[in-house]
Structure 1
Amino acid sequence: MNNKKSPQISLHIPPKMWHQFHHTLLDARTNNEEVIGFLFCKCHQVSKQKIRYLPQSWVVPSPDCYERQSASELVMKQQFHEYLLETFLEKEQLDVVHIHTHSDRHKPEFSCVDDLYESAYAKFLSSHFKKKPRLISGVFDETFQHSQFRIWDRKGKSFESINCTQSWFELTQEANRDWTELMFARQQVFGEGVQKQLGELTVALIGCGGIGSIFAELLGRLGVKKWILIDPDRLESVNLNRLPAATQEMADQQWHKVHYVKHLIKRIYATGSAVKAIPASIADAAARQEVAAADLIVVATDNHSSRQVAQELALAYMRPLVCLGTHIDMQPNNTPRMYCRVTVPPLGGGWCLMCGNIINLHRAALESAANEINHLAAKVGYVEGISNPAVFWLNSLCASTGVGIIHSMLSGFLNVDNGLDWVYEFPGSNWLKADTNYLGTSGCYFCGG
């Protein structure tokens, strides 16, 4: 008897991509005929028990691409079909998702025709391409309100249902869990569904210092219990004025910052939390693998190289990213000018921290260089030798704004499909909100712009 559990398979489509894709599908329908669209995906093996398909490109055929198109039948022209196969499966080695509509408003079911066609097509893909791409299929009603998705085996003999999400967070809600915890009673105004999602959210926090620790404390008390903490540094006395509940004893014992933040979470949840503390740089391969499996990446570091790695991971594995940072400088009249910044690039690309000039790639390269090179750069003034000034209240303002944005994303009352970049300036008390339409860079090496 084989008790081996099948891996959980999901398809995660960025909301902006889905909006463009499904509206193009609707526009392609002139009467009441069926329409089809294609998503081309890379496969991410999150773990032994979880596989995620991430769309890289999409295509919706125009009417002249069909040999036949009606309410009951779709046949693509051979030349167009060969173009898709050569471009996306042979050259780019991606897997394919077929999405088609049924011309009614009831919950859609795959038809016998769908079964026969997809079975033969799954077998064809496996036998004609070296990578043996998988076929995923989805069927929607004509309003795009209801759907079913499935993935075929490579022999075209069987399939299994999979989950498809078109949101920022790919979350599943655990059954049989008591969500009536008294500590969240005053958050009921946001809805039970939001509280469940907070409880299921796995957050990868890169940087557990002045901003990251406050962020973890705030988001933890909102209901987030699953954490991956990454930071190679240890506590020092100079940190104690900015880290909640940190003590001189912890600094004397040289606690790793990740273990200190884990301590903060465990103070909130003596049981029921899952916190993985990794006292390493985000450049560490094991740390990167853990981050790629998270639902949300938050980077709260004071260096450009770690932000660059975080952004690259977010793009590679299509994970939501929130970047937190502060800055203090002195004006000519010797009065301080202080800023905090919260940036959320669009999920799946469009613009990123690099093409938006939020990361200085020159600084990032120097920070990640070998010690000898970094030392030489510092001597000639390319790298600052004095730690940036910081105060608790400014870090708190940045962290709490980041938590508020995440809560708003989950609640649905803040649309961040195009990303956001907010800067707060003090003492002027100005909120500067960038027009994200100008943040993209055409042909950005990292996200494609």
Structure 2
Amino acid sequence: MKKSTAISLHIPPKMWSEFRESMLKSRMFNEEVIGFLFCQRHQVSKSKIRYIPKTWVVPASDCYEHQSTSGLVLKQHFHSYLLENHLQVGLDVVHIHTHTGQGIPDFSHTDDRYESEYARFISSNFPKKPYLISGVFDENLQSGQFRIWDRKGQKFEYLNFCNSLFEVSKFEDVINHDDSIFARQKIFGKGNQKALNQLKVLLIGCGGIGSIFAELLGRLGVKNWVLVDPDRLETTNLNRMPSATQEMVEQQWHKVHYVKHLIKKIYSEGSSVKTIVTTVESELAKQEIATCDLIVVATDNHFSRKTAQELALQYMRPLVCLGTHIDMKSDNTPRMYCRVTVPPLGGAWCLMCGNIINLQRAALESAPLAINQIAANAGYLEGVNDPAVFWLNSICASTGVGVIHGMVSGFLNVDSGIDWIYEFPDGNWRKTNTEYLQNDDCYFCGMGSLEEVVEDSDFEDSDFEDSDFLGSDVEDSDFDNSDFFVW
């Protein structure tokens, strides 16, 4: 860990709320409590590391040998259970404990001693040498601080903690040189504008919906972009892509360069737009996911949306999915829909388990050409692009921008996700009850095994032995087992 490296722990708001609630329930009065998260490490850039939780465990009150306002001691067999079942290869350990009182507490000398020994213990006894991140909070888990130890348990450094959707700051006293551009957005506050200016958006799909979306969100204040699309402009795009020209088509502009042109027309200076002329499945595109604050998918195929959802779950990034559909009824009148979907950050339901994308279509789209042809002959694929019109794309794109504005500003709660469908010509907005989309058994996002409140009766002492997780580098006699269970 280099001192110049910025390290952050990002726990999604819904997960943090559930974790915090479980912590508070596992005590009586002001007793200290402890909980554990097991996190994946992402190297966002050369100078930034982000930790995101994959699982969490809160011991119930009967898992403690001792629990009071002055400290706590966990039962040894519980801790064996914890390490055996949750410290998977490649994950690092985060433990969060409380001190009595209000305000931001300091780590005590007792914390220093046991955390140092614990950091050394886990790095010596597990193959990937996990790091220890520790957090101390007040009795209500409202205020706290975090630090990460080196593997020798000799040094630590403090790290940033984020339990919001985005890791962007909202300092109200920031003065931007281009504040006049956003003069009519001051009602939302300078902090909100600052957050929009900092937000980094990955846009997958720069066609009829994506291009309108980029211009609208760009004019709201978003200046940092990564654009992913392998296609070039065609004549059929000109009816629904703002400022696209026949000359661009003749010059065979890639769509990502066309959308970059739109953004640069708004911000000749101060913007950052990276273009990737490939599909989202490519390694080059995947490398950019972790660096972004938000993923937006506006493609016309199921496979790319499936991939985007998988990456959003892997990197714990908020995802917004935009799409439209047009068909004709038997009486030759059109049915038109646009859909804006935001799955909850951290799981509960996703685009796949909610049947928002068709996995059969996704599989066919990713199949070799020969198999695709067989499927087309069997009637599984139409073989033509979906119908599209500018105004319907605009409704979809502008609604998506409004949703993101609400997410950044905080006036729209998406903790449980949203799925909105607009139907024309009836003019109805339908809002899916997302409770019906939740699926703990989903292969992609099922959370049934990812969060747990453990009771002492859930396991037997005989099920776990110290020798099961003590490695060859450490002798049993080197440690008093209680050293690892006291805070």
Q: TM-score range by the shorter chain?
A: over 0.9
Opposite residue 167 of structure 1, the aligned amino acid is: S
CA deviations on 1:377-398 (whole Å, 9 max, x unpaired) are: 2222211112111100000000
Distance 1:351 1:63 in 2: 30
Distance 1:37 1:275 in 2: 41
Q: Of the candidates 109, 126, 132, which is equivalent to residue 123 of structure 2?
A: 126
Preserved contact between residue 289 and residue 315 of structure 2 (Cα < 8 Å):
no
Distance 1:106 1:307 in 2: 44
The worse-fitting range, judged by mean Cα deviation, of 371-380 and 256-265 is 371-380
**Structure 1 residue 178, shift from structure 2 partner:** 2.2
Give the aligned partner of residue 139 of structure 1: 136
Q: Calculate the TM-score normalised by the size of structure 2.
A: 0.89
Give the aligned partner of residue 328 of structure 1: 326
Structure 1 residue 240 corresponds to structure 2 residue 238: yes
Preserved contact between residue 174 and residue 190 of structure 2 (Cα < 8 Å):
no
The worse-fitting range, judged by mean Cα deviation, of 193-202 and 44-53 is 44-53
Structure 1 residue 149 corresponds to structure 2 residue 146: yes
Query: What does 1:75-154 correspond to in 2, within 5 Å?
Result: 75-89=73-87, 91-154=88-151
Give the aligned partner of residue 188 of structure 1: 186
- The SS at the match of 2:383 is coil
Structure 1's unaligned 5+ residue stretches are none
CA deviations on 1:147-194 (whole Å, 9 max, x unpaired) are: 111111101111111111111112246997626610101111111111
Preserved contact between residue 292 and residue 314 of structure 1 (Cα < 8 Å):
no
CA 1:5–1:124 in 2, change beyond 3 Å: closer, same or farther?
A: closer
- The SS at the match of 1:323 is strand
**Structure 1 residue 299, shift from structure 2 partner:** 0.2
Preserved contact between residue 173 and residue 200 of structure 1 (Cα < 8 Å):
no
Opposite residue 218 of structure 1, the aligned amino acid is: L
CA deviations on 1:218-239 (whole Å, 9 max, x unpaired) are: 0000000000000000001110
Q: Of the candidates 155, 158, 169, which is equivalent to residue 155 of structure 2?
A: 158
**Structure 1 residue 5, shift from structure 2 partner:** 5.7
Opposite residue 274 of structure 2, the aligned amino acid is: K
Distance 2:191 2:177 in 1: 10
Give the aligned partner of residue 203 of structure 2: 205
Give the aligned partner of residue 276 of structure 1: 274
Give the aligned partner of residue 366 of structure 1: 364
Query: What does 1:426-445 correspond to in 2, within 5 Å?
Result: 426-445=424-443
Give the aligned partner of residue 265 of structure 2: 267
The RMSD of aligned alpha carbons is 1.5
CA 1:177–1:372 in 2, change beyond 3 Å: closer, same or farther?
A: farther
Structure 1 residue 409 corresponds to structure 2 residue 430: no
Give the aligned partner of residue 59 of structure 2: 61
Preserved contact between residue 214 and residue 243 of structure 1 (Cα < 8 Å):
yes
- The SS at the match of 1:425 is strand
Q: Of the candidates 414, 423, 444, which is equivalent to residue 425 of structure 1?
A: 423
CA deviations on 1:69-113 (whole Å, 9 max, x unpaired) are: 111211100000110011112x45421111111111122111111
Opposite residue 120 of structure 2, the aligned amino acid is: K
The worse-fitting range, judged by mean Cα deviation, of 194-203 and 39-48 is 39-48
- The SS at the match of 1:246 is coil
- The SS at the match of 2:59 is coil
Q: Calculate the TM-score normalised by the size of structure 1.
A: 0.96
Structure 2's unaligned 5+ residue stretches are 448-487
Opposite residue 47 of structure 1, the aligned amino acid is: S
Preserved contact between residue 348 and residue 440 of structure 2 (Cα < 8 Å):
no
Give the aligned partner of residue 313 of structure 1: 311
**Structure 1 residue 372, shift from structure 2 partner:** 2.0
Opposite residue 121 of structure 2, the aligned amino acid is: F
| Greater relative contact order structure (CA < 8 Å, 6+ sep) | 2
Q: Of the candidates 48, 51, 60, which is equivalent to residue 50 of structure 1?
A: 48
Distance 1:177 1:130 in 2: 49
- The SS at the match of 2:305 is helix
The aligned length equals 445
% same residue: 68
Q: Of the candidates 394, 397, 405, which is equivalent to residue 396 of structure 1?
A: 394
Give the aligned partner of residue 32 of structure 2: 34
Opposite residue 362 of structure 1, the aligned amino acid is: Q
**Structure 1 residue 136, shift from structure 2 partner:** 0.5
Distance 2:4 2:150 in 1: 13
- The SS at the match of 1:137 is strand
Runs of 4 or more off by more than 3 Å in structure 1?
A: 172-177
Opposite residue 377 of structure 1, the aligned amino acid is: A
- The SS at the match of 2:147 is strand
- The SS at the match of 1:354 is coil
Preserved contact between residue 89 and residue 128 of structure 2 (Cα < 8 Å):
no
Q: Of the candidates 329, 338, 347, which is equivalent to residue 336 of structure 2?
A: 338
